[in-house]
Structure 1
Amino acid sequence: MSSNTVEKKITNADLKQIFWRSLPYNASFNYERQLNIGWAYTLVPILKKFYGDDKEELTNALNRHLEYNNITPFISTFLFGLIAAMEENNANSEDFDTKSISSMKAGLMGSLSAIGDSIFFGTIRVIAASVGCSLALQGNILGPILYLLIFNVPNLIARWVLVFKGYNLGVEFLTNVEKSGAMDRLFLGTSILGLMVIGGMIGLNMSVPLNVKFFDTDLVKVINGIVPNLINLLFFGFIYWLVKKNVNVVWIMLGIILLGIVGSLVGIL
């Protein structure tokens, strides 16, 4: 946290820079932390503005924005604006808890992605493809052009508008919460929400297809009947432990693949 007495504020020029730098956000995908590089790249000018005079604080800020990150790029600027407001609050307050920044990202990534995917992938892209393909099948050059325009114009407009909305909402929200004295409850709530999202992902998006029987009894069904998704949780915990031990994620993935192959050959997977 900055100890400077001069208040640091984000300007419209800063928000416009976030918009432009968000365009290649989705181009840096990696299997370990997915879109974290694009996220940090977008916020670099803001972080340098707030912490450029303090190398340690700048390093800490970059590290917290190089954590796991994945949000639908079309509405990502809303979260960029909101997080920028939180960084501004942190730079001007000695009592700000930076853990709430990571918690806020973790708590909103999933819900915002669901909204963005349904609007842009589930609706706008379908409409754009319908118009574009129908014209392209007739040999009309407007087919691909209209497809790109119908899909990308709303995308760019949403990014532009949402970066300002996210920042303004963040400033107003944080100010009201701070005045009400509920900042500690906010930090606790965002932390809990982030953990709930991660916990939900374990149960919904992860499957450990064990096929272990004891006297014709399916042990996996018995275990899930007592504690649902316990095996998923244990497997996730093991992977998390390996990550905390700084085991390279590539080796972890290769190990999972090898385990799947061997497990399938011996009949337990």
Structure 2
Amino acid sequence: MKITKNVSTEDRKMLNSIFWRSFTVFASRAGATKAHAPGFMYSILPAIDRYYKDNDKAQADALTRHTTWYNITQNVGTFVMGLVASMEKKNSEDPNFDTESIVALKTSLMGPLSGIGDSIFWGVLRVIAAGIGISLASQGSIFGPILFLLIYNIPAILTRYYLTYMGFTLGDTFISDMYKSGSMQLLNKAASTLGLMMIGCMTATMVTFKSKLSIPITGGKPILIQTYLDQLWKGLVPLAVTLGCYWLLSKKVNVNWILLGVLVLAIVLGLVGFV
């Protein structure tokens, strides 16, 4: 891609190092006030070592700058890393450069980029990958978990790689240009809509309920309760269960308790012959 060709050999080596280090950004957490700042510092260290190679004080100042709170969706966070690397480069070349703008810009991008990253990677891509993987795995196919990992990780890793270069080459005007053109809002809306559609499709196809209850009729066929449930509203019970779980999540009920409750309910209904 053109975005990686317009980078010098030394810059490419540095950016590749930042890319590989970015996989460890969430391996450490420095409490609620710093979050994943240590991981960010470790990831951006190749740029700091390069641009402040013979200036120990400048290196210490740069590392101190990046001890501030950092938390962003991993797959898009490398854009900020590349951007910070380019700004640290400018700072090393320009003695009048405002170093406070580095932290300010990094902080201001966390919310918008996390919104995009969460919508695309958690709300859409992961749901699609899980839907395909679960569908195959439920049929006993080994390709279920394999495809899940491939469908999610290939786009995620490629995005992480190219965003590292994009942040470094496009600079701090890229996000502001997207906001001015309306592309950011459009991307957020499209990703959210697609994610909701995928969740709806998965609910309709993967949450099932079939009752075995029947009303015996002397001299005739028994009346199956499931038949009337389907006539009343096909998928009514799965929808009700899904909405019930969603309501519990909205009330901040721990997801593990919800899963345990559904499991216990399914076992009890199975034992009494309801399903």
Per the normalisation by structure 1, the TM-score is 0.59
Aligned to 1:252: none
Matches within 5 A, 1:29-48: 29-32=29-32, 33-48=34-49
Matches within 5 A, 1:39-118: 39-118=40-119
Letter in 1 for 2:42: Y
Aligned to 1:23: 23
CA contact (8 A) 1:10 1:88 kept: no
Deviations 1:63-106 (A, max 9, x none): 11121001100011111111111000000001001000010011
CA RMSD of the aligned region, Å? 1.9
Deviation at residue 31 of structure 1 after TM alignment: 2.5
Cα distance in 2 for partners of 1:95, 1:83 equals 17
Deviation at residue 52 of structure 1 after TM alignment: 2.7
Segments of 4+ in structure 1 off by > 2 A? Answer: 29-32
Which entry has the higher C-alpha Rg, 1 or 2? 2
Deviation at residue 9 of structure 1 after TM alignment: 9.9
Letter in 2 for 1:88: K
Identify the structure with bigger relative contact order (alpha carbons < 8 Å, sequence gap 6+): 1
Cα distance in 1 for partners of 2:111, 2:133 equals 30
Q: How many residues align?
A: 166
Aligned to 1:192: none
The 3-state SS of whatever aligns with 1:27 is: coil
Identity percentage of aligned residues: 43
Letter in 2 for 1:79: V
Sort the Cα spacing of 1:17 and 1:120 in 2 relative to 1 into closer, same or farther, 3 A: same
Cα distance in 2 for partners of 1:145, 1:31 equals 35
Deviations 1:183-239 (A, max 9, x none): xxxxxxxxxxxxxxxxxxxxxxxxxxxxxxxxxxxxxxxxxxxxxxxxxxxxxxxxx
CA contact (8 A) 1:9 1:88 kept: no
Deviations 1:103-137 (A, max 9, x none): 00111111100000000000000001101111111
CA contact (8 A) 1:19 1:163 kept: yes
Sort the Cα spacing of 1:57 and 1:50 in 2 relative to 1 into closer, same or farther, 3 A: same
Deviation at residue 10 of structure 1 after TM alignment: 5.8
Structure 1: gaps spanning 5 or more residues: 1-7, 175-269
The 3-state SS of whatever aligns with 1:90 is: helix
Cα distance in 1 for partners of 2:92, 2:129 equals 43
Per the normalisation by structure 2, the TM-score is 0.58
